[in-house]
């Protein structure tokens, strides 16, 4: 089991190295950093001077090594646009996105799994047919449209919720949270809903499909023949056996939620990483883009690692002595 964990860690390292390579390429070879920093009117001497200070006169592999050295300690350079260290910029935006994604995931799991279980147990009932239709709609509508519809209803028409921003936040060191203030919580509602609608629908359909499949398995029939209560048969045996694929998909979805919260953040002007990367792309702010890529890559790798660990926890067949 320990070797399995170590092997997974090894593959995470490999992935991170490749992602770092890509970030390095963006950082060094997309546009000319010297031009970007000094502008086009600098003299040749000034350029050579900066080139030496930045280490750009050295061979690529040494530059890559230095890039790695700096990346490990979180030094991704200075943002061209904001003139502050990239790490500082990212850390200031990270909490907003993490809060958004975590809330959306909790909502998606908390609503999607029970809905899926319900539909699996009563596939022909009126209510589950209704839920399935809603889920189909939820999967089909593009995210930005959901966001705009919500804004139209709750901000423009009803005037209940603010259409943009995070509301008031409370600061804990570098972490800022909107969960502790009334306006912060109110501001979370619509973006979280926007992000979660697709996830809820998908998780519901996934759980329903898997569970209906598992309910036909022999061990479920045998569990009934053992006289176990319906509750125990459904939740302890059928649901648990249905969750393996759900774990995989949810893991992948959380990763993409972080990355693709971009759309949602743009619609709600949510001051998170998504908005930051949009601005960075607009201004060709390569250090921010490189750091964002590395960070998202790291996030994905960590989530995959967690999923593998959860797999080991749930499924004894995966554990090898």
Partner 1 sequence: MNPASALVVRDLSISFDSRHGSITAIDSISFQLAKGEILGIVGESGAGKSLTGNALIGLLQGPGRIAGGEILLDGQRIDNLPPEDQRKIRGKRIGAIFQDPLTSLDPLMSVGDQLVETIRTHLPLTATAARGRAMDLLAEVGIADPAKRFGQYPHQFSGGMRQRIVIALAIAAEPEVIVADEPTTALDVSIQAQILALLRRLARDRGTAIMLVTHDMGVIAEIADRVAVMYAGRLVEIGPVDEVLRAARHPYAAGLMGLIPSLARREARLPQIAGSMPRPGHWPQGCSFHPRCAQAGPRCSAEVPVLASVAASTVACHLFSGGTALPKGT
Closer CB to partner 1, 32 or 315, in the complex = 315
β-bridge mates for residue 85, sequence order: 78
196: tokens are 């979660």
What are the backbone dihedrals phi and psi of residue 114, each rounded to the nearest 5 degrees, phi first?
A: -60, -40
- The nearest distance, CB 314 to partner 1, in angstroms, is 7
Closer CB to partner 1, 70 or 221, in the complex = 221
Task: Using CB atoms within 10 Å of the CB of residue 228, give its burial: 0 to 12 exposed, 13 to 18 middle, 19+ buried.
Answer: middle
Interatomic CA distance for residues 233 and 265, integer angstroms: 42
Chain residues binding partner 1 by CB under 8 A are 217-219, 221-230, 232, 236-237, 240-241, 314-317
Closer CB to partner 1, 233 or 293, in the complex = 233
Is there a contact between 101 and 194 (Cβ–Cβ < 8 Å)?
A: no
Closer CB to partner 1, 113 or 273, in the complex = 113
Is there a contact between 103 and 188 (Cβ–Cβ < 8 Å)?
A: yes
- The nearest distance, CB 119 to partner 1, in angstroms, is 18
- The nearest distance, CB 8 to partner 1, in angstroms, is 21
Closest of 92, 276, 95, 104 to residue 189, by C-alpha: 104
Closer CB to partner 1, 161 or 314, in the complex = 314
Closer CB to partner 1, 99 or 308, in the complex = 308
Helices 286-314 and 2-29, packing angle to 10 deg: 170
Is there a contact between 166 and 181 (Cβ–Cβ < 8 Å)?
A: no
- The nearest distance, CB 222 to partner 1, in angstroms, is 4
What are the backbone dihedrals phi and psi of residue 182, each rounded to the nearest 5 degrees, phi first?
A: -60, -50
Tokens 């022909």 belong to 124
Helix, strand or coil for residue 213? helix
Closer CB to partner 1, 223 or 250, in the complex = 223
Helices 86-121 and 182-215, packing angle to 10 deg: 40
- The nearest distance, CB 219 to partner 1, in angstroms, is 5
- The nearest distance, CB 282 to partner 1, in angstroms, is 49
- The nearest distance, CB 9 to partner 1, in angstroms, is 25
Is there a contact between 291 and 19 (Cβ–Cβ < 8 Å)?
A: no
């Amino acid at each position: 089991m320990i070797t399995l964990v170590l092997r997974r860690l090894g593959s995470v390292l490999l992935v991170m190295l490749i992602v770092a390579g890509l970030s390095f390429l963006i950082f060094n070879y997309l546009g000319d950093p010297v031009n970007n920093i000094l502008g086009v009117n600098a003299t040749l001497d000034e350029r050579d001077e900066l080139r030496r200070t930045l280490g750009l006169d050295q061979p690529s592999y040494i530059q890559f090594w230095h890039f790695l050295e700096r990346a490990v300690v979180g030094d991704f350079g200075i943002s061209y646009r904001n003139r502050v260290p990239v790490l500082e910029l990212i850390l200031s935006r990270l909490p907003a996105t993490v809060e958004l994604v975590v809330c959306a995931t909790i909502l998606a799991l908390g609503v999607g799994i029970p809905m899926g279980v319900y539909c699996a147990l009563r596939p022909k009932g009126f209510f589950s047919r209704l839920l399935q239709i809603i889920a189909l709609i939820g999967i089909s509508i593009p995210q930005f449209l959901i966001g705009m519809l919500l804004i139209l209803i709750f901000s423009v028409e009803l005037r209940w919720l603010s259409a943009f921003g995070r509301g008031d936040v409370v600061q804990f060191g570098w972490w800022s949270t909107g969960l502790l203030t009334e306006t912060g919580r109110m501001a979370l509602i619509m973006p979280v809903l926007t992000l979660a609608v697709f996830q809820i629908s998908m998780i519901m359909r996934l759980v329903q499909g898997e569970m209906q499949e598992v309910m036909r398995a022999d061990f479920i029939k045998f569990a009934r023949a053992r006289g176990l209560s319906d509750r125990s048969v459904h939740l302890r045996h059928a649901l648990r056996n249905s969750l393996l694929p759900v774990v995989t998909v949810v893991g992948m979805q959380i990763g993409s939620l972080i990355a693709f919260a971009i759309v949602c953040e743009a619609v709600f002007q949510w001051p998170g990483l998504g908005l930051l990367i949009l601005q960075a792309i607009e201004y060709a702010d390569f250090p921010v883009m490189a750091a964002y890529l590395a960070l998202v890559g790291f996030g994905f790798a960590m989530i995959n690692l967690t999923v593998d660990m959860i797999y080991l926890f749930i499924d004894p067949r995966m554990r090898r002595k």
